[in-house]
Amino acid sequence: MSIVESPTTVDCVHQRSGNTNAVAVDHHHRHSSKRKLDDYGGPTFDDFNEEGDAVSSDLVSVRMRKDGPNAVNSSLDGPPCPSTVSSEQLDSRVSDARSVYYGSGSTPPESSRSPSVLHFFIRMISEGNNLVIHAYANDTVKSLHEKIQLKFGIPLFEQRLIYRGKQLQLEQSLAECNIQNDAGLQLVGRMRSTEHPQAWQLIDDIISMVCRLCKGESIPSAQKDIKNRITEYFSMTPKEENYSATSHLQIFMSSSAPAALVMLYVSPIEVNKVCGECSIRHFLNLCRTSLSKPLHNQCAPIVLEFCKLLRRVGSEDTLYISCRNALGSLLESIGVSTPGLTYSENVNDLFMMQEIFPFVKELGNRLSNDLTSGMESPSSDVRDFSTFLLHLRTAITEQMGFKGPISVSLNGRGYRHPLYGKEIELLHHIFIDFMKKMDSCLRKMEENLAGKGKGEGDISHCRWSQYLAILKELNSISKLYQGAEEDFWTLLRLRKSSLCRLIIKHAKRSDDHSWILEQKDVLDFESRRHLAMMMFPEVKEDYEELHEMLIDRSQLLAESFEYIARADPESLHGGLFMEFKNEEATGPGVLREWFFLVCQAIFNQQNALFVACPNDRRRFYPNPASKVDPLHLEYFTFAGRVIALALMHKVQVGIVFDRVFFQQLAGNFSISLEDIRDADPCLYSSCRQILEMDAEFIDSDALGLTFVREVEELGSRRVVELCPGGKSIVVNSKNRKDYVSLLIEHQFVSSIAEQVSHFMQGFADMLSNSRLQKFFFRSLELEDLDWMLHGSENAISVEDWKAHTEYNGYKETDSQIVWFWKVYSLDSHFCSSQYVCLSSSFLIHLFPAESA
């Protein structure tokens, strides 16, 4: 028995002078076991290897002429459909028909044919290409299946031969099946049982329709039908992340549906191209909108396959860019920071570093070119670069067993790695290139701000909006290489003015700014305050969204406590509307007055919540004895909310925090001796004397000190041990440092731990994200918070104040406004910080009303 077969050809390719052109695409894994064997009767991307060379298809052979077993019929059923991928060199496949003979006879049938030798055809149901068969009448059907398996790799159990509407049984001979010369048999696939038969059928229908379109067949409703089937396929996807949902989504990949849709997209027929593009975009949209986030990691490999195929079309192709953006969005939703999971576990072994790096390199080159040319980079490019880079960096740190910064010696030895040396080296080159480009961009920005680059106008500002995001990624890359992080921060210190300008003008609430707060010295006060203020929700201007309060002045603290402490935190995020009982005045001025008054009440030492520093009565820290009030912890939560709301509304309340309190709010509970200088000058002086005393004098036990501390509570004194067995431990020259440290820790940390914790919780309630509370205080210096809560001690410049004043309901030329500035210009006494602070609470907002 022999099978005469010619090289595999594709219906949608022009045949000129015996040559066949094909689109060079990635060789895709073949999964034919769950589809009819003729599903790819049309063109398939499996016909090409990585170099674009033609390879034999598992499912498609050629139609042979009946009058010659070795002749190829060059006319196919449908019109030719040449590919139009101009960016690829199309490979020509030219080959003559060749014969392979099997069986006991050694003489080719062309020279002499025995009467018992049969000559017949095996064809696909889709009337694709035919096989010419030479076999003896007594050969079994099974032997015919075996030869097909040997030649084409199709498993025997997946084959079925149909003749005259009946399936041929394996044990039958060809004579018993009444097969005659020139008979036509049909080879079809055996359908195996599957968990999702409807899903397989939907995808099979899509692929079959694509094949018909590529053959030139006109299907008026093709685009609608394909999109409907994709929609139905997604609607059938199980909603929970489990094996059933995973196997359902893998059908799309296993069936090579991405290759089929991309094949339709590269069709030279415009209608087919539009149909392919719309279908792929529809799939991308449904990935993001119809599936829950846990299932995005199952869609990511499919979108990656689209990217690989479309990248051959061109990196500037709009559909490829859309697929790349979609992949970036899916990876962003998957994330790589789930606690307790490594990179490979968290992304479910979806990608290797080599699959991610081409996107990083491609987007890095785009951004680098845009920085050089002065063009504005699309925000999607920067976002996708960040997403792909995040996964790449995590792969480097986890898959490589990252132990520390990688050496980047000039001789290249630091790049040597058995698997990822090339990626590590190229990523470092990207870092160096971006550092040079950003230095140049920030320098030009300084020149522009100084007036040397006038004329660029808003165009420059548009370009600047992407700089912060790029700097953030440079910071993340710098942590991978020795010396790179120091170089990065040196650059930012050199371009400090540009960086601060970028933060004030282009930083957004939705962005993560924690990276820049690692080195506060590269920022000035305005930029630090701006970053801190963006941690608060934006105050609403809509009256209906404000939290309303009606306060009796005689019950100011108690009623304010009920309105603020008992309110749901979300209801306070929109802002406050304040009104005093029996008073007509409302608006921002009344709200400022309320903030000032309620803070004076909270920090009034008669209420025993806070203690003022002896040398600076503006500074406060929590009172260790506040428990005299049973509700003291709730009042500390209330105090935290009030201070946060005052900052959110940009109201100065006339009080500031002591350093020991500020440091604990920032998460630093290691209080040094110098930190308590203002909080307790007497204790500070005593501790310094103990540390500076002569060692022999201390060792003589002349002071009679042990590791205990006397605490006064509710008029009585009690002794507290600073450490276990402290009563029996005598202070000497060797342990006096430990004694001082424990003494400070107990008085300023342990004894007020509950108060600080409740204040922190109240403050965190008012932030957009409660987890940002420590970041808020870490982003600021103590002096920054002083300015925000109290203002500067320096005299205010009336001219500067006037230049930055915004008028609501008035014009600068109105009589009341002219009188107002005239009064403040008469005497410098009016410009003192104390008077201005008082006037901002009581006088300024009343002046226009009284004049009216």
pTM across the whole model: 0.67
Per-residue pLDDT at 522: 92
Per-residue pLDDT at 609: 93
Per-residue pLDDT at 603: 95
Burial class (CB in 10 A: 0-12, 13-18, 19+), 37: buried
**Average pLDDT, integer, range 389-414:** 68
pLDDT band (50, 70, 90) for residue 508: confident
Residue 517 lies in a domain: no
Q: Which of 764 and 74 is assigned the larger pLDDT?
A: 764
Residue 524 lies in a domain: no
CATH code of the domain in which 111 resides:
3.10.20.90
Cβ within 8 Å of residue 764, ≥6 positions away: 640, 770, 771, 772, 773
Per-residue pLDDT at 37: 34
- For residue 10, pLDDT over 50 is answered with no
pLDDT band (50, 70, 90) for residue 376: low
Residue 534 lies in a domain: no
- For residue 610, pLDDT over 90 is answered with yes
* Distances, alpha carbon 87 to alpha carbons 7, 24, 100, 313, 683, in Å: 26, 10, 38, 7, 79
- For residue 18, pLDDT over 80 is answered with no
> Percent of the chain at pLDDT above 90?
30
Per-residue pLDDT at 402: 61
Question: For 685-725, what is each residue's pLDDT tens digit?
Answer: 999 999 999 998 988 888 889 999 988 776 778 888 899 99
Say whether both 309 and 425 belong to one domain: yes
**Average pLDDT, integer, range 612-638:** 92
Per-residue pLDDT at 509: 85
CATH code of the domain in which 697 resides:
3.30.2160.10
- For residue 141, pLDDT over 80 is answered with yes
Say whether both 638 and 765 belong to one domain: yes
Say whether both 2 and 32 belong to one domain: yes
User: Tokens 């004397």 correspond to what residue?
Assistant: 689
> End of a domain among 512, 528, 557?
512
Say whether both 661 and 711 belong to one domain: no
Say whether both 44 and 84 belong to one domain: yes
Comparing CA positions, the residue from 555, 665, 569 lying closest to residue 601 is: 555
Identity of residue 394: T
Say whether both 487 and 366 belong to one domain: yes
Residue 663 lies in a domain: yes
Residue 523 lies in a domain: no
Residue 518 lies in a domain: no
Say whether both 324 and 408 belong to one domain: yes
Collapse the DSSP code of 2 into the 3-class scheme (helix H, G, I; strand E, B; otherwise coil) and give the result.
strand
Residue 531 lies in a domain: no
Per-residue pLDDT at 651: 92
pLDDT band (50, 70, 90) for residue 581: very high
How many domains, in total, are found in the chain? 5
- In angstroms, the CA 250 to CA 127 distance is 29
Residue 277 lies in a domain: yes
Alpha helices, H only, 450-578: 458-464, 467-478, 484-494, 496-506, 525-533, 556-565, 569-572
Classify strands 19-22 and 91-92 as parallel, antiparallel or unpaired. antiparallel
Range of the domain at 562: 543-669+753-789
> End of a domain among 512, 531, 558?
512
Say whether both 51 and 139 belong to one domain: yes
pLDDT band (50, 70, 90) for residue 665: very high
> Is the dihedral angle over the CA atoms 142, 144, 147, 151 positive or is it negative?
negative
Say whether both 133 and 263 belong to one domain: no
Say whether both 741 and 758 belong to one domain: no
Say whether both 250 and 302 belong to one domain: yes
- For residue 36, pLDDT over 80 is answered with no
Say whether both 285 and 430 belong to one domain: yes
Per-residue pLDDT at 109: 40
